[in-house]
Amino acid sequence: MPKPGPKPGQHLAGGTGFADPEQIRDDIAALLAGLDAEDGRHSLADRTRVLERAHDLLVEALATVDKI
């Protein structure tokens, strides 16, 4: 059986060390869970803030991955 390789970004100095895909999925899902388009509870500004935060999480995760 092949030995598992390093996690994405684990080679980088400083920072969190690596991006855990499951944690990223969970974080994004938690952010987006409250954005039901039908309920009308959230203003456009609220939705924008949530989507910007989700985008930031994805950008941070991508920054830990090697560029090939």
Instruction: Identify which of 19, 38, 21 has the alpha carbon closest to the alpha carbon of residue 29.
Output: 21
pLDDT at 27: 93
How far is residue 46's CA from residue 5's CA, in Å, rounded to a whole number? 40
pTM, whole model, 2 decimals?
Answer: 0.64
3-state secondary structure of 29: helix
Question: CB under 8 Å to 18, separation ≥6 — which residues?
Answer: 6, 7, 8, 9, 10, 64
Reported as a single tens digit per residue, the pLDDT across 17-61 is 567 889 999 999 999 887 866 666 778 898 899 999 999 999 888
8 A C-beta contact, residue 3 and residue 12 = no
State yes or no: pLDDT of 68 exceeds 50. Answer: no
